[in-house]
A = this chain, B = another copy of it.
Amino acid sequence: MRDLIAIHGEPSREVYLDSENSGLIYPKALEEMVRTYKEVGYGNPSITHKIGWESYEVLYKSTEILSQILNTKSSELVYTHGATEANNLAILGSAKANKNDRKEILVSSIEHFSVIFPAERLQEQGYKIIKIPVNEHGFIDNEFLKTKVNGSTFLVSIAPINHEIGTIQNLKEIIDIVKEKNSKTLFHSDAADSFGRVRLNLNKLNLDLASFSSHKIYGPKGVGLLYIKEGLKIEPILHGQLSSQKLWPGVENIPAIAGFAEAAKIFDNMDKNMLLKMRDKLIESILSSTESVLLNGPKGPERSLDNVNLSFLYVEGEAIIVELSMQGIYASSGSACTSRVLEPSHVLIAIGRKYEEAHGSVLMRITPFNNEDDINYVIERIPKGVARLRSLSPIKGG
């Protein structure tokens, strides 16, 4: 493995653009976690001794920070180990608590697998899952939604922002459609990639459930949140020692929670124009420098401020990823070759990309750790890498 890494040599620059798959961490969030481990907050917040109280205090303050940013009550937030767990709890847990005969669930066809798969599992329990189609830029088909939401609709799950192509939905309009058709229908939103990218005023939006993840906003891994609107019935899906909030068993991971709150504060406060500028520079430069490239997802204000997703025709995505890795640029692809299941990204398929378009896709997320020089480096290297691979390809464009 060392050899494998050694082959990379010493690229003149390293640019990490793969935070969609695994996030970097803010040094301050890491520090906060370490401090909590070392000084206060390593205890169990439910135990009545000083260390427990200190831990409780850290938990309390962290939750206050998060609930203020999200404009919720603290009591509406439940910690999980990540958005995967939050999505599972939202969908499986609310179905568990569902005692009526509304058994239809609508999920958009471009949701993250941690939304789609739990929903599909509910088919075993007699639920009917309907996938909501999207248009070529990933926007929900509102007309479809209008015809499908009815008295039988138990839950609708649509993310504010798509994780792969960055589409920002008009969530307010969508929720209004759903609630108007059936005010009892629960609305869940996987906001793992939305925190800090759109203003999520949970108090004002008519949302019932929303999932968040710390590492998606450059906090520690292994911690997430589920927002559960006050009064909503939901049951735990795993069982054990009661934590303070009762819905996810086990002692809270207070150091990770403290780091999460710290990251939320930093990411929320940051001026994100810089990210936006880098995003557009990267997109526009590649589109104009390189032939046969396609932008996946919308342009402009309807696109997440940190999302870049381009398809390079006539080359295979994993090959580009490896090629870029050798240049010190780290991204990911929706190509079939990069996934364990050897299927191209379901998101790219849903927006109607052809096989060969999905095949050459590259996903890059601009982070607060990137600067303009990074982007210039990427803009310089991508065309060369793509050109080399195209020269190897039996299929040439034109």
Beta-carbon contacts of A202-243 to B below 8 Å, as 1s and 0s? 000000000000000000111100000000000001111110
**14 residue pairs bridging A and B, Cβ less than 8 Å apart:** A4-B53, A18-B49, A21-B43, A21-B46, A22-B43, A22-B55, A48-B321, A50-B325, A81-B81, A81-B222, A113-B239, A113-B249, A222-B253, A237-B237
Tell me, in angstroms, the Cα distance from A291 to B50 when the chains sit together. Answer: 27
Could you tell me the distance in whole angstroms from the C-beta of A231 to the nearest C-beta in chain B? 21
6 new A-B contacts, CB < 8 A, other than A22-B47, A81-B85, A84-B241, are A34-B34, A44-B332, A47-B321, A88-B238, A118-B240, A242-B340
The reply on A331 being an interface residue by CB < 8 A is yes
Could you tell me the distance in whole angstroms from the C-beta of A163 to the nearest C-beta in chain B? 10
Q: Within residues 15 to 71 of chain A, which ones have a CB less than 8 A from any CB in chain B?
A: 16, 18, 21-25, 30, 34, 37-38, 42-44, 46-57, 60
Beta-carbon contacts of A66-91 to B below 8 Å, as 1s and 0s? 00000000000000011011011000
Tell me, in angstroms, the Cα distance from A280 to B344 when the chains sit together. Answer: 61
Q: Within residues 112 to 156 of chain A, which ones have a CB less than 8 A from any CB in chain B?
A: 112-114, 117-118, 120-121
The reply on A322 being an interface residue by CB < 8 A is yes
The reply on A338 being an interface residue by CB < 8 A is yes
**Within the complex, which residue of B18, B220, B255 is in contact with A47, where a contact is CB–CB below 8 Å?**
B18
A43-B22, A238-B237, A325-B50 known; A221+B338 contact, CB < 8 A: no
The reply on A395 being an interface residue by CB < 8 A is no
The reply on A389 being an interface residue by CB < 8 A is no
Beta-carbon contacts of A231-267 to B below 8 Å, as 1s and 0s? 0000001111110000001110111100000000000
A30-B34, A338-B48 known; A117+B240 contact, CB < 8 A: yes
In contact, A56 and B256 (Cβ under 8 angstroms): no
The reply on A318 being an interface residue by CB < 8 A is yes
The reply on A330 being an interface residue by CB < 8 A is yes
In contact, A114 and B241 (Cβ under 8 angstroms): yes
Tell me, in angstroms, the Cα distance from A331 to B44 when the chains sit together. Answer: 11
Beta-carbon contacts of A1-19 to B below 8 Å, as 1s and 0s? 1101100100000001010
Tell me, in angstroms, the Cα distance from A52 to B242 when the chains sit together. Answer: 36
The reply on A378 being an interface residue by CB < 8 A is no
B-chain residues with CB within 8 Å of residue A331 when the two chains form the complex: 49
Could you tell me the distance in whole angstroms from the C-beta of A18 to the nearest C-beta in chain B? 6
The 8 A-B residue pairs whose C-beta atoms are closest, nearest first, are A114-B240, A117-B239, A49-B325, A84-B250, A21-B44, A22-B44, A222-B222, A81-B81
B-chain residues with CB within 8 Å of residue A49 when the two chains form the complex: 18, 321-322, 324-325, 330-332
Q: Which of A8, A54, A253 has the most CB of B within 10 A?
A: A253
Tell me, in angstroms, the Cα distance from A253 to B253 when the chains sit together. Answer: 13
In contact, B21 and A30 (Cβ under 8 angstroms): no
Q: Which of A23, A328, A330 has the most CB of B within 10 A?
A: A330
Tell me, in angstroms, the Cα distance from A238 to B90 when the chains sit together. Answer: 12
B-chain residues with CB within 8 Å of residue A44 when the two chains form the complex: 18, 21-22, 332
Q: Which of A2, A42, A121, A321 has the most CB of B within 10 A?
A: A42
Q: Within residues 251 to 294 of chain A, which ones have a CB less than 8 A from any CB in chain B?
A: 251, 253-256
Tell me, in angstroms, the Cα distance from A330 to B43 when the chains sit together. Answer: 10
Could you tell me the distance in whole angstroms from the C-beta of A23 to the nearest C-beta in chain B? 8
Tell me, in angstroms, the Cα distance from A250 to B190 when the chains sit together. Answer: 14
In contact, A48 and B325 (Cβ under 8 angstroms): yes
In contact, A118 and B250 (Cβ under 8 angstroms): no
